[in-house]
Amino acid sequence: MILTKAARGARTLGKGSRGRAGETKSSGIIYRGPSLIDGAPIVVIATYSDANSKTGTMVQTYILRADMDPRDASKTGADVSICGDCPHRGTPTADPARKQAKGRTCYVTLGHGVLITYRAFLRGVYADAQTRDGRRALGRGRMVRIGTYGDPGAVPGFVWDDLIADAQGWTAYTHRTGWRPELAMQSADTLAQAQAHWQDGRRTFRVVLDLGEIQHAQEVLCPASKEAGRRTTCAACKLCAGTATRSPKSVAIVMH
């Protein structure tokens, strides 16, 4: 999961998922099956969208429980299937006044792009793209964001390999220690966690409270952040692609 503002809408670009054969698809279901974390039913939906001003135009990927509203998954703790033990999930609660887990600190807002995507999935909006060719076609020539919502480690690796096989590039984030470091930034919540990753040759994406916390020998400030003057987008920057970028630096961003 990336700790940045979530896509606020689910507007997709290009031809719809029901386009004619041979047309470039703008959205589709790229995986439906058991979570690798706990075996519960999950679904991964890819949508090509320009709705997120920080990431720029990218294929966004939503990893969702296939059998429940994402707000209920948060409230009951069933989001463990798609988020693992990420500390930003908060604490399950039965409080009827709450719409999500107590103390949830994840920046991905469930009421926007996530919920819109889940409801569209229930309405049958997304075509099935669960073949190697289907996934390749969705990513072809595009920038892909692996794990717009949810942890990519919940999903079989071949799904992502297919999606980025012909892509222009990708960004990826995981809280699952050691998951595909050549592909994904390791989300770190503390300096100690980040240092442990660095020692093992992994690159991190770390949220800090203050610019002064950034370790300039090992980290750069995300250039799309407010503090960096929003100089670029992820689609142009491409720095968050694990060790595949060959950049020696990890990335830090200031929390808001």
Binds ligand SF4 by CB under 6 A, chosen from 42, 63, 239, 252: 239
Q: Which is nearer to ligand SF4, 106 or 251 (CB)?
A: 251
Region label for 169, one of left (φ > 0), alpha (ψ between -120 and 50) or beta (otherwise): left
CA gap 222, 120 in Å, rounded: 32
Q: Which is nearer to ligand SF4, 129 or 240 (CB)?
A: 240
The piece of 34-42, 136-144, 194-202, 235-243 that touches ligand SF4 (CB under 6 A) is 235-243
Total site size for ligand SF4, rule CB under 6 A: 11
Q: Which is nearer to ligand SF4, 3 or 73 (CB)?
A: 3
- Does residue 116 touch ligand SF4 according to CB under 6 A? no
Binds ligand SF4 by CB under 6 A, chosen from 36, 59, 114, 224: 224
Q: Which is nearer to ligand SF4, 162 or 219 (CB)?
A: 219
- Does residue 171 touch ligand SF4 according to CB under 6 A? yes
The piece of 37-45, 81-89, 105-113, 229-237 that touches ligand SF4 (CB under 6 A) is 229-237
The piece of 74-82, 157-165, 194-202, 219-227 that touches ligand SF4 (CB under 6 A) is 219-227
* Of residues 178-217, those binding ligand SF4 (CB under 6 A): none
- Does residue 46 touch ligand SF4 according to CB under 6 A? no
Q: Which is nearer to ligand SF4, 35 or 250 (CB)?
A: 250
- Does residue 223 touch ligand SF4 according to CB under 6 A? yes
The piece of 17-25, 37-45, 109-117, 220-228 that touches ligand SF4 (CB under 6 A) is 220-228
∠ Cα 127 130 135 (to 5°): 90
